Structure 1
Amino acid sequence: METKEIEHYFADSTILQENPEEAEELVNLAGYQVTKAELFAHTREPAITIWDSRIKFNMACLRRFPGVTHIQILIHPEQKRLIIRPCDPDAPDSLRWARGGGEKELSNRDLLCKIFAAKVFDLMGWNPQYRYKMMGKPAVCDSEMLYLFKLTDFELFVNGKKSKSYLPEDWRNYFGTPVDEHEDSYKINLADGYITTNKT
């Protein structure tokens, strides 16, 4: 940008002088809530969608684990959390979550799982007529990169000519998790109640 152009932008501007009397305001974060990302557009964020007979991870999930074709799915029934853990194709209970591999570009795929889906729907008390979408967050356990999904933080979709989404009723009265609880809400310990799924 040329000097004349810069001068033009500042020609009618008022120069702000630093005022020593205007000190930075000290903020106490007590009472603040970290706003849930689900309240914003999130089509490009990592997510899992669960139907009554299948599940599917979007491409944003696959891109977080480049070249990974197989995962294990871990469930914590009490905390109602789901974790995906990259694994070797021949690892016990490994699931192929992507098409392609090797020299072929990876793409996402449906994982048919009537029994698994039924168990999740039963655990969560979900309506099998709807599908449920959860956003994921990166997590680390013992230096192992994982992806965490809170099953309680879902977006519900009613199938029809035009898909409509709904959020949980109890979200109406708050924006998100209190600041002092937010970091702890994403901490995980795989030895604390997580179970691996089988291939049903």
Structure 2
Amino acid sequence: LSINEEEAATVRLVFFMYLYGYGPSQIAETLNQLGRTTKRGNQKWSAATVQGILTNERHCGDVLARKTWTPNYLDHKSKKNAGNRNQYRMNDHHEPIISRNDFVAVQHMIANARSGYRGTLPSLHVIEEGALRGYVIVNLTWAGFQKQDYLDASRSVLTQTEQTPSEIYYSLPNQGEFDLREYELVHKQFFGSQLDESITFSKGSIYFSTSCVNSFKKITHIELLINPDQQTLVMRPSSKEKKSALRWVKAKGDQYYPKAINNKVFMPILFDLMTWNEQYKYRVKSIKRKNPSGEILIFDLREPEIIIPNESRHDVCNPETRPASKIKPLTSISSRSFVAYPAAWAEGFGSSLYADHQPPELLNLPRDVISDTQNDGKPFEREGEEVIDTTSDEVLHEQINSLINSMKQEANKDVE
């Protein structure tokens, strides 16, 4: 394949403008004003046409084979290959028009734009020091990341031992004390109350309890952090200027109330990480810690209350040993759902009185000393992986102006 310089100038302008912050509609309007023609010879540009250029891998020198397939050999009508057949990609097949780094950056930006996020390129940030070392800051509008990305980011600052889920330590009664080894500390989830500080997850939303809002008095923005190996989530206050800040309340006068947060970006990652069923909701209670460095809420994701729709009751029953008609839930059933608990809890009502089940963060978070719970995260970079070094804003601005001026001169010559 050889480069058509006139078409290449248009492609470069499209990519440079998008990297600089212009949207597809704005780029299409600019191209219409410049009188540029599309690859098919049309002079009418649209956002969809611009999007097609931005996602075409040929512009960075690659070739993707089998983009379409023919389901029926009788009518020979082709359809877009959305995973129906294997595809084959060859990198560096021909001379590129734009750099691979710029192309990869644009794909990330497009993925973010679908989730309503515009602006800088996405990156995961991980806490490097302090009580929350190894926690990855969650931004619910960033797209393009998977479960493994969060795991890799967290593990990048942790030792092998720190990556392993914490063990349960058992102690013995001191001499002269009652021996209560046969007794259990009942799971607090069995004493449900509307006053509990909790967070509820569904496949597309997050909801905080009113008690959570009351616990963080007059705080309008928060930040969520996750330790994917320990399977714990932390909530801490945040300034609204942070890109990862989440407005979680709505105000009525001087009162604040929880705000349902619709999200389809991070929720699939969380459900994948915890192997949760997307048909159910999961409510997790918190442990609050406050000291001179600030206050946080810790949620142990391994101990959820599972809210199951009534119509799914048959799905959680073994018809041979426990038919649905014989199920008697521990909790009262509403008209729409009932509450279940992890299967591991079926053997008792709680844990040994002498077992330490606390998340490891509590051991690192003494109440009377500063322990850096408000540390900022550092950008995660994979070891051995080249950082995406895109064209700088200064160069983009210069190239955009140069290309536009050149195109205007060409248009004037054509008129003459």
Instruction: State if a TM-score over 0.5 links the two structures.
Output: yes
TM interval, short-chain normalised = 0.7 to 0.9
Match of 2:254 in 1: 104
The 5 A counterparts of 1:15-54 are: 26-30=177-181, 32-54=183-205
Match of 1:120 in 2: 270
| Higher percent of residues as helix | 2
Match of 2:355 in 1: 181
Is contact 1:141-1:188 (8 Å) kept?
A: no
Once the two structures are superposed, residues 101-123 of structure 1 have per-residue CA deviations (whole angstroms, 9 ceiling, x without a partner) of 7x531111111221211011000
SS in 1 for 2:355: helix
Is contact 1:155-1:166 (8 Å) kept?
A: yes
Once the two structures are superposed, residues 4-44 of structure 1 have per-residue CA deviations (whole angstroms, 9 ceiling, x without a partner) of xxxxxxxxxxxxxxxxxxxxx83134454322110123222
CA-based RMSD: 2.7
Q: Does 1:171 align with 2:345?
A: yes
- Paired amino acid for 1:176: G
Match of 2:141 in 1: none
Q: Distance in 2 between matches of 1:82 and 1:141?
A: 18
- Segment drifting more, 140-149 vs 47-56: 140-149
Match of 2:219 in 1: 68
Q: Highest CA radius of gyration, 1 or 2?
A: 2
Match of 1:136 in 2: 286
- Paired amino acid for 1:76: N
Q: Distance in 2 between matches of 1:65 and 1:122?
A: 29
Q: Distance in 2 between matches of 1:39 and 1:131?
A: 17
Q: What is the TM-score of this pair, normalised by structure 1?
A: 0.74
Larger RCO, structures 1/2 (Cα 8 Å, 6+ apart):
1
Report deviation, 1:184.
Answer: 4.2
- Counting aligned pairs with the same residue, the percent is 26
- Paired amino acid for 2:289: A
- Paired amino acid for 2:345: W
Q: Distance in 2 between matches of 1:152 and 1:146?
A: 18
- Segment drifting more, 39-48 vs 72-81: 39-48
- Paired amino acid for 2:343: E
Q: Does 1:57 align with 2:208?
A: yes
- Segment drifting more, 179-188 vs 39-48: 179-188
Is contact 2:300-2:359 (8 Å) kept?
A: no
Is contact 1:34-1:176 (8 Å) kept?
A: yes
Once the two structures are superposed, residues 51-95 of structure 1 have per-residue CA deviations (whole angstroms, 9 ceiling, x without a partner) of 001101010111111101111001010011111001121134110
1:116–1:129: structure 2 CA closer, same or farther, 3 Å change rule? same
Match of 1:77 in 2: 228
Is contact 1:139-1:188 (8 Å) kept?
A: no
- Paired amino acid for 2:257: S
